[in-house]
Amino acid sequence: MADGHLLFVWKTSGYELREQDGEVPAVGSEVETDGRTLLVTKVGPSPLPRDKRPCAYLGR
C-alpha cells in the first residue's frame, strides 16, 4: 500500500474513507474537509485488510 494515511470522515449520510498524503493528524487536532472543520477523535490502524497506514477518525 502507499505511504500516507487514511481519514475516516463523518458526514450526515454516513462515513467515508479517504486516502491522504503526509503524516496522520494527532488526536485533538482539527482537519478541514469539504468546507467543514472536523476534530480528530481517534487514530488507529487502517480498517482495510493488509493496509499498514494509520487512520484518523474525524467527527464533529
Buried b (16+ CB within 10 A) or exposed e, 2-27: eeebbbbbbeeeeeeeeebeeebbee
pLDDT digits (tens, 9 = 90+) for 9-35: 988 888 899 999 999 999 999 999 989
Domain of residue 50 covers 5-59
pTM metric for this prediction: 0.87
pLDDT range class, residue 37, cuts 50, 70, 90: very high
Give the percent of the chain with pLDDT over 70.
97
Q: Which residues share a beta bridge with 30?
A: 39
pLDDT of residue 16: 93
Number of separate domains in the chain: 1
Computed from CA positions of residues 6, 32, 41, 28, in that sequence, does the dihedral angle turn out positive or negative?
positive
Mean pLDDT along residues 28-46: 95
